[in-house]
Structure 1
Amino acid sequence: MSNYKCIIFDCDGVLIDSESIAIGVLIDMANELGADMDFKESLIGLKGKSLNSCMALISERIGKPLPMNFEPDYRSNTFEAFRKKIQPIEGIKEVVESLEIPFCVASSGPENKIRLNLEVTGLLPYFEGNIFSCYAIQKWKPEPDIFLWAAKTMGFKPHECLVIEDSVSGVRAAKAGGFDVFGYTEHDYKNELEHEATETFSKMSELITMI
């Protein structure tokens, strides 16, 4: 085991394979409003972005504010889709079961979404009591606040922690907070993380040996 004393995992795309599901729901709703967005291009372009950023982009594309019920409808639609389709990232259970140091999850999503997805994928028991949501502090990546809060609450300094991320905004947030960050590249469609992260890996089985 390395000198790291705590591991901070992102959730979407690192613990659970959810981003294609969530972005698919978002694009379907956006296109119903006339946004004319392509799924593949949007999966690349919206990956790792906050919902507020995505909604602002959709609003700009349709040239008017989104309906007041857009966000609650999106949450409802994604929760239904998650319950039916969500899967854990391949190999992640083996990773968390092998860890001999504390770990937690720090995500841009609201806590009820994080808990739902962890529960459906069987990961919630590993993270119970150690779930950190950007919504709780109203600060989003690439600002480092979520990782700083998680580290402090877990009882460690940034340099003692390792962050696992799969998005550029998440990697930049970790680096801005003084953390080492390993980039998970299986869905790094534009090969961006190699130039941003401390280290990169494409399979969870690799992570076990790296930490």
Structure 2
Amino acid sequence: MSKPLIIFDCDGVLVDSEPLAAIAYERVYNKHGLALTRDVVGQCIGMKQADIIIRIEELTGHAFPAHAEGDIWLETRALLEEELEPTRGILPFLRNLETARCVASSSSMERIALSLDVAGIAEFFADNVFSTSMVKNGKPAPDIFLFAAEKLGGEPSASVVIEDSPFGVQGAVAAGMTAIGFTGGSHTFDGHAEKLQAAGAHATCASWSEVETELTRRGFIRETVADL
């Protein structure tokens, strides 16, 4: 029987970064004379930057200048370095977790590494960190999840993905994995859980204590992880 594997998304799951990213996009687009609101950026959660730029153009008609794409990362990095926090309860959860785990994110490796370091949780993942830059297709394609499982010797049927975006949930389901929708970040909105369920989430959890209960029930962890 395959050993269980827990695959964590990074932004909005491990770290409370989605509001900061939305601010960064809003600032940079406005700087270049393109009106953009955080609500529009919120519709792109779970995508990699290249796909976000395309999606924003589809939603607003604003074509972002290719020569300025680096500005988005510079603004995002500054905000992450100054204000990023781990999601509430994740530290004790990871500290007591024995199940094999990894990160599979749409962010660049540079951003993932920075986020994990600033949040103080890099030690819990070591080199088991994967970006959609390593695969052909980003979320909602299953590529990144299948890639991560292969690297860690896991089977899709024995893997669970914790995601905060419909795109991520869709990718996990397409990979043949259990998908847990996480709504414990500060970017959570009315109807968030319902959107994750509509995308195929097998369960939704609003805190890490709820995640613990759900993973225990499904056999991915053996006992209570911590008081979260």
After TM superposition, the score normalised by the length of structure 2 is: 0.84
Q: What residue ranges of structure 1 are gaps of 5+ in the alignment?
A: none
Amino acid of the residue matched to residue 194 of structure 1? Q
Query: d(CA) in 2 for partners of 1:19 and 1:70?
Result: 21
Contact 2:47–2:138 (CA<8 Å) still a contact in 1?
no
Pairwise mapping of residues 91-110 of structure 1 onto structure 2 (< 5 A)?
91-110=89-108
Contact 1:183–1:199 (CA<8 Å) still a contact in 2?
yes
How far did residue 138 of structure 1 move?
3.5
- C-alpha distance after superposition, 1:139-189 (max 9, x if no partner): 200000000010111111100111100000000000001000100023154
Pairwise mapping of residues 46-195 of structure 1 onto structure 2 (< 5 A)?
46-59=44-57, 61=60, 63=62, 65-186=63-184, 187-191=188-192, 192-195=195-198
In structure 2, what is the equivalent of residue 208 of structure 1? 212
Amino acid of the residue matched to residue 21 of structure 1? L
Pair 1:132–1:207, CA change in 2 (3 A): same
Query: d(CA) in 2 for partners of 1:188 and 1:159?
Result: 30
- C-alpha distance after superposition, 1:23-61 (max 9, x if no partner): 11101111223332222x225322223322221244453
* RMSD, aligned CA: 1.8
Query: d(CA) in 1 for partners of 2:164 and 2:130?
Result: 17
Pair 1:108–1:96, CA change in 2 (3 A): same
Pair 1:188–1:104, CA change in 2 (3 A): farther
Contact 1:7–1:161 (CA<8 Å) still a contact in 2?
yes
In structure 1, what is the equivalent of residue 219 of structure 2? none
In structure 2, what is the equivalent of residue 44 of structure 1? 42
**Percent of paired sites with the same residue:** 34
Give the secondary structure class of the aligned counterpart of 2:11: coil
Contact 2:44–2:55 (CA<8 Å) still a contact in 1?
no
Contact 1:98–1:208 (CA<8 Å) still a contact in 2?
no
How far did residue 93 of structure 1 move?
1.1
Structure 1 residue ranges (4+ consecutive) displaced by more than 4 angstroms after TM superposition: none
Give the secondary structure class of the aligned counterpart of 2:114: helix
Contact 1:23–1:43 (CA<8 Å) still a contact in 2?
yes
- Greater shift in the superposed pair: 137-146 or 25-34: 25-34
Q: What residue ranges of structure 2 are gaps of 5+ in the alignment?
A: 216-228
Number of residue pairs the alignment of both structures matches: 207
